[in-house]
Every structure is written in structure tokens, then in C-alpha cells.
Structure 1
């Protein structure tokens, strides 16, 4: 089994370049007020920048972030499901379409937005693919730059795949809500990945029950190191 690494922003490298991005996805599913678990919530970490809702007649219903009763949330989710990847769960708060906002300054080969979204130059994506990194999907951003000759930054569509192992979670962790799908989980200090749940067809994914965690395989990490691409820190995680 390939070794897995938790990826985070290299803030020291980012500070050297001085770039700044203030942006988010303009369209998203609403949050949900779940009558089953009693929680009003929306997810962070579920984004599909390559899913275009522009032609959807109900597009405006995805413009304003807000909580909705589960029945209304479910109706809106079904409208976008045909446009999304077939295995996408699409929880409350899932974002769609290009990253919209403002950017300034210089950026290294790999950049992050709010420590969650992974951006890279097109040539960097092509070099990683040439090095054998599998399953990398990226789409253009809609960032507005203040300078002339702005860089072309792509956002990687990093989909969930794999779970935290129960052994790293408190024994009283409640089960996942069977209605809205919410995981009531706080990130453990020592995460362990559930080996049986890990995808085998791609080298970059998010932890499905804690999707702000971006995970890569040893193949991806080694490609980044061979190409000497800064912007990422790697922490190896055990699997069980």
C-alpha cells in the first residue's frame, strides 16, 4: 500500500512570494437545518470548480448562502446532481464553479486559498502529470488581478475519498446522521487513515469525514520533490 501524506500550506514559502488571494466559489448548495440530528450546518472542503451551473435555469437559487430545511436542500441537490461527478455526495455548503475574487502579488508554483483550496500554474500541473501523478483535475479560476500580465492559476478539484480510522476518534463519537449525512468529528491530534477506504485510482484526495484535510500518495509527494515545487508541507499519516 502506498504511503499517504497530509498536505498543508508552506507558509514560509508563501511569504517569500507575497501573493494574496481573497476569493471563494460564488455558487453553492445551501446549508441545512436538519430535523433528525438538530444541527444547522454547511460543509467546508467540498468544492467542485469544474462543475458549471451557468446553464441551470435555477442558478440564482445557488447564489445566496443560507440554511434551508432538509427537504428544500434535497430538492436543490437533485438539480445539480446530474452535473456533478457520479460518486459525489454533495453535502450542504458544497461549492461549484470557478473561484471568484481578487488576487495580487506573485505566487509560487503551488498556492493555497484559506489553507483549503489548492492552486497551481498550468505548466506545474502538466509537469506533475508528466511525472506520473494520477487523477489530477483542474479548472481555470476567475480571479481578478491588480497587476498587468497576471499568472494563469488553476484550481485543483480535490474530491473526497478515504476516511479517518475509528481508532483515532473518541469512543463516544456519534454516528453519522442518516438524514443529512453530517459527521460530528473534530480533527484528532494524531490522525490515522482507514486503509480499506482509501482510493486506488488517484494520488490526491480529501478525507471524506473531515474534508478540510487534503491527502496525497507517495507518488504525488515524490513528484513534487523531484520537480522542486515549493508551497506544500507533507506529514506522513499511518494507516490501519
Structure 2
């Protein structure tokens, strides 16, 4: 059986990279639900492949705000053809290439910002050459102060797979209208084996998008290529 690992930026690192950045086309608005009363924006996923330049309503994504459910659904469905098929589009999902400023030094896989996972172009090519599946890197529009700076791509990591119910707290069922289902990340996560994808070696969890999960194939390649500065924790399945 394939093993799965939680990938994070380590607590101690020799890299100093920092970003002051946003995604070009903004984001889906937050959602204000009249059914359950929640106002929320739960996404940690960005879709850097999305190009809203031909969308007449593109300015409606630029200003963060809570929107009523019907307006949120309208704006979500307008961008659905512009993101990968089957993409989860939660309130707050960001759209377009990453733009802004970057300072400091960056590891080959830079997961300090789970919503903005970065990879050096050379590291991405080496992982792909090792047979790692499903890695898609997109150019960023980041400005550096220093002349000699790395070429950073943003990984588009889609939400797929879930935590197993045995590791999440008892709570009311999700809102039938907006799907709001808040809970804190469990200290000892367990993955729901039946929900895990079989076609990609790197993904997020649909119910906890800040958790980046890699397969044994990816982790073996990361270790073999010495792409240091990734905290790797094996997770049980159930």
C-alpha cells in the first residue's frame, strides 16, 4: 500500500524567504450564509492557472468582502470553466498568477505559505524527471531587490482526499446550504484511505486545505534529490 506524508516548512530553517504578494485576479468573496448564520472564507487554495482577462465581471473578484450565498455561487460558477476540472472552489479561493515582492532566500520546495507553495524551476524539472506525477508549476510575477535571484514557480496543488472521521471532533453536520464545517486541525491526523487520489503525488485535503500531502513516490524523490528543508511526517490511513 502506498504511504502518504504530510509536507510542511520546518520549524527551523536556514532559508529566510518572505513574500508580500497576492494573486493577480483576486479571489472568490467570502460567504455570508442566511441558513446557518456563518460568515466565512475557508480556502487556502490558489489557482495560478486561472486567467480572468476575458471575464467582464473580473473586477468583482478584486475586493475582499463577504457576499450572500446566491452572489457567491454566481461568481464561483463564472470562474469554474477557468480552473482545472473538478477543482474545489471554497470562499476565498485565489485566482491568477502570484504577484508582489519577495525577499530573502528560498529552498527548492518552499512551503512556508501553504496557500502559496513555491518551487525552484530546476527542482520541479528534476522531480518530474524522477516520475513524480501531477506537478504543475506556473510563472510568478515576483520582484526581488537583489539582481541574482531564483526563478520561483507556484505549484497549483488541488484539494483531493480527506481526513478520516475518527480523528476529527464531534460537531454538528455541515450546513446544507453553504457547506460550512469548521473544526480545528487534529493533533494526530489520520487520512481517509478510500478518499485519496491515485493519479497525483501531491495534493491538499479537501477538508483542510492547508495540509499538503505527498505520496511515497514524491517523498522518495525529494530525499534522493536532496531537496532539503521540507518537514516530512508519515500519516496513518484508515
TM-score computed with the length of structure 1 as normaliser: 0.94
1:44-94 Cα shifts (integer Å, max 9, x gaps): 312111111122111111000100000111111111011112201311111
Q: How many residues align?
A: 237
| Rounded Cα–Cα distance in structure 2 between residues aligned with 1:64 and 1:105 | 29
**Structure 1 residue 35: deviation in Å?**
1.2
Mean Cα deviation higher: 219-228 or 139-148? 139-148
Match of 1:68 in 2: 67
**Structure 1 residue 11: deviation in Å?**
4.1
**Within the alignment, does 1:181 sit opposite 2:147 as a pair?**
no
**Structure 1 residue 182: deviation in Å?**
2.0
**Structure 1 residue 217: deviation in Å?**
0.5
Contact kept, 8 Å, 1:11 with 1:231, in 2: the verdict is: no
Q: Where does structure 2 lack aligned partners over 5 or more consecutive residues?
A: none
TM-score computed with the length of structure 2 as normaliser: 0.95
Q: Trace 1:21-60 onto structure 2 (pairs within 5 A).
A: 21-26=19-24, 27-60=26-59
**Structure 1 residue 100: deviation in Å?**
1.7
Contact kept, 8 Å, 2:10 with 2:231, in 1: the verdict is: yes
Contact kept, 8 Å, 2:137 with 2:154, in 1: the verdict is: yes
Match of 1:130 in 2: 129
**Within the alignment, does 1:154 sit opposite 2:187 as a pair?**
no
Mean Cα deviation higher: 180-189 or 72-81? 180-189
Compared CA separation, residues 235 and 113, structure 1 to 2 (3 A) = closer
Q: Greater strand share, 1 or 2?
A: 1
Detail structure 1 runs of 4+ shifted over 3 Å in the superposition: none
Q: Quote the RMSD (CA, aligned, Å).
A: 1.4
Q: Where does structure 1 lack aligned partners over 5 or more consecutive residues?
A: none
Match of 2:8 in 1: 8
**Within the alignment, does 1:231 sit opposite 2:229 as a pair?**
yes
**Structure 1 residue 147: deviation in Å?**
1.2
1:112-149 Cα shifts (integer Å, max 9, x gaps): 34344211111110100111110001101111111113
**Structure 1 residue 20: deviation in Å?**
2.1
Contact kept, 8 Å, 2:88 with 2:206, in 1: the verdict is: no
